[in-house]
Structure 1
Amino acid sequence: MKIASWNVNSLNVRLPHLEQWLAQAAPDIVALQETKLEDERFPDDPLLAAGYRSVFAGQKTYNGVAVLSRESARDVQIGVPGFEDEQKRVIAATVGDLRIVNLYVVNGQDVGTDKYAYKLRWLGAVHDWLEQELRAHPRMIVLGDFNIAPDERDVHDPVVWNDDHILTSRAEREALQKLYSLGLHDAWRALNPDERQFSWWDYRQAGFRRNLGLRIDLTLVSDALRPHCVASGIDREPRSWDRPSDHAPAWVELA
């Protein structure tokens, strides 16, 4: 089974790319972030024609998350229970015997800002919720745009992307490590311990052409699923298409 994550950075713009990639890559489950669509505008019918059922939570212009699956999803949860937040950043659903948790983690703007403090609070709430979810759903995948590069192997320039920089700051990485401590494993890094690949490249400064990227799109698997991970990758091709998202799909395959 192949499970993928892709920040499409506007599903309205990127729907043809998504349809093309679904046909090529044939994932069983896909978590989308930054759909940027109200629910009534979500393209249910085209995705159903492509073979995928959808559950989603969206808003105009910003954020928005969805889970696409060949098999119908059930037990859908939108948002983090007990954490009041109007932003549509979280959706969880059960597909088959897998619990899928799709996160669009807060960017945080800059270290020391109010948005950075909100990011750390948000991550703390996600940690506490996932701790409970894992007890109920040991076969879990937590994936999405984490807006955190786990370590120096995941940035093109560790001097620039250092402990004081947003997306790589010490506090953000510590918050990510706390998620790992729940019994979650970075599937890509576990299977590619020495490789340096990225999943996001800035539109500016020819970031993709020069490979000035970060790996911030992650697929985390629970203890129960770690032995079943047989492959994991980042599909760079869609980032080279016309009018692309600034993110590439990240995926994990379970046997």
Structure 2
Amino acid sequence: MRVATWNVNSVKQRVPRLLPWLDERQPDVVCLQETKLVDDAFLALLGAELAERGYEVALSGEVQWNGVAILSKVGLEDVVTGLDGAPGFPHQEARAVAATCGGIRVHSLYVPNGREPDSEHYQYKLAWLAKLNEVVAAGPADALVCGDMNIAPADADVFDPAAYVGQTHVTEPERAALASLLSLGLHDVVRDRWPDKRIFSYWDYRAGMFHQDLGMRIDLVLASTPVAGRVRAAWIDRQARKGTGPSDHAPVMVDLDEAPDGDIGPVVPPPSAKPGKRPRKLPQAKDS
């Protein structure tokens, strides 16, 4: 079973990239984030195309912002939208959807950005993560927690730690919240597979960050121990970030039980240029 997670940064804008990617990579389960469409609009746009490809769809969307989805060829049961009891800002945003796919409880998540340390947005992010921890802890043993976590787990997951001083995504409370989630028995399968490699999943659109390979690894697949034991390949599909009209995120790919493309990675294809020098000012987008 191939599982992918991808922040598409507007599914409407990404249709010319999304459908050919589905045909090429043939994922069985896809977690999408930042769909930026209400559910009816999503289905009107893509429902028929996805059905033709054998996907059932679970959605949680809203107008213009946020939005998450799960596409599945291996069943879609017990769908739950949102996190029960999660904080709102001011309402409970469309940031979580879960379903059982092929016997695995799959969560598609778009964690709040946090914007600035110690801001109201930042406190909301930490409170939301605490609720996520409770939900996952109460769930079944076979689980995948996938999505744009908006946290770089360690300094190795940003191109230059000095560039992120005073920024969100790298603060100790955020990393502690992620560590608490991992302590439930989850495994960061990409990093576990490639412990010493330079791996990013997000590159800002501005300042040539992608071409210089100045990125962050904030899109994660976290697997419970039984599921992690089934991983045969784990990699970043950098090809989907190249070319015309890409998202600023690349898909994270995890193959369970068998690896159709072999044990490739960690980033496919690898960057063609050597890492660039750190910009004087980080062009960090608020919406990542």
Q: State the match for 2:243 in structure 1.
A: 241
Q: State the match for 2:10 in structure 1.
A: 10
Q: State the match for 2:267 in structure 1.
A: none
Distance 1:209 1:51 in 2: 35
Distance apart, 1:51 and its partner CA: 2.6
State the secondary structure of the residue aligned to 1:142: strand
Q: State the match for 2:117 in structure 1.
A: 111
The answer as to 2:103 corresponding to 1:101 is no
Q: Deviations over 1:93-130 (max 9, x none)?
A: 00121110111000000111110010001001111111
Whether the 8 Å contact between 1:19 and 1:50 is mirrored in structure 2 is: no
The partner residue of 2:54 within 51, 56, 80 is 51
How many residues are matched?
251
Q: Give the counterpart letter for 1:8 in structure 2.
A: V
The partner residue of 2:186 within 184, 187, 194 is 184
1:201-212 alignment, distance < 5 Å: 201-212=203-214
The answer as to 2:200 corresponding to 1:194 is no
Distance apart, 1:84 and its partner CA: 4.5
Distance 2:199 2:119 in 1: 29
Distance 2:249 2:122 in 1: 21
Q: Give the counterpart letter for 2:40 in structure 1.
A: E
Whether the 8 Å contact between 2:87 and 2:128 is mirrored in structure 1 is: no
Moved over 4 A (4+): none
Whether the 8 Å contact between 1:235 and 1:250 is mirrored in structure 2 is: yes
Distance 1:239 1:171 in 2: 30
Whether the 8 Å contact between 2:236 and 2:250 is mirrored in structure 1 is: yes
State the secondary structure of the residue aligned to 1:110: coil
The partner residue of 2:93 within 87, 92, 98 is 87
Distance apart, 1:44 and its partner CA: 1.1
Distance 1:65 1:123 in 2: 16
The answer as to 2:210 corresponding to 1:216 is no
Whether the 8 Å contact between 2:109 and 2:148 is mirrored in structure 1 is: yes
Distance apart, 1:211 and its partner CA: 0.9
The worse-fitting range, judged by mean Cα deviation, of 51-60 and 99-108 is 51-60
Q: Deviations over 1:12-53 (max 9, x none)?
A: 110121111111111110000000001111121111123322
Q: Give the counterpart letter for 1:176 in structure 2.
A: L
The partner residue of 2:253 within 247, 251, 254 is 251
Q: State the match for 1:33 in structure 2.
A: 33
Q: TM-score, normalised by structure 1?
A: 0.96
Q: Deviations over 1:59-93 (max 9, x none)?
A: 11000000001133010010111225321000000
Q: TM-score, normalised by structure 2?
A: 0.85
Question: RMSD of the TM alignment (CA)?
Answer: 1.0
Q: Runs of 5+ in structure 2 lacking a partner?
A: 258-288
Q: State the match for 2:270 in structure 1.
A: none
The answer as to 2:158 corresponding to 1:152 is no
Distance apart, 1:217 and its partner CA: 0.4
Distance 1:245 1:38 in 2: 19
Distance 1:235 1:161 in 2: 25
Q: Give the counterpart letter for 2:121 in structure 1.
A: K
**Percent of aligned positions that are identical:** 43
State the secondary structure of the residue aligned to 1:37: coil
Distance apart, 1:210 and its partner CA: 1.0
Distance 2:136 2:100 in 1: 14
Q: Deviations over 1:150-185 (max 9, x none)?
A: 0011110011124x3211111100100000000000
State the secondary structure of the residue aligned to 2:112: coil
Whether the 8 Å contact between 1:58 and 1:65 is mirrored in structure 2 is: yes
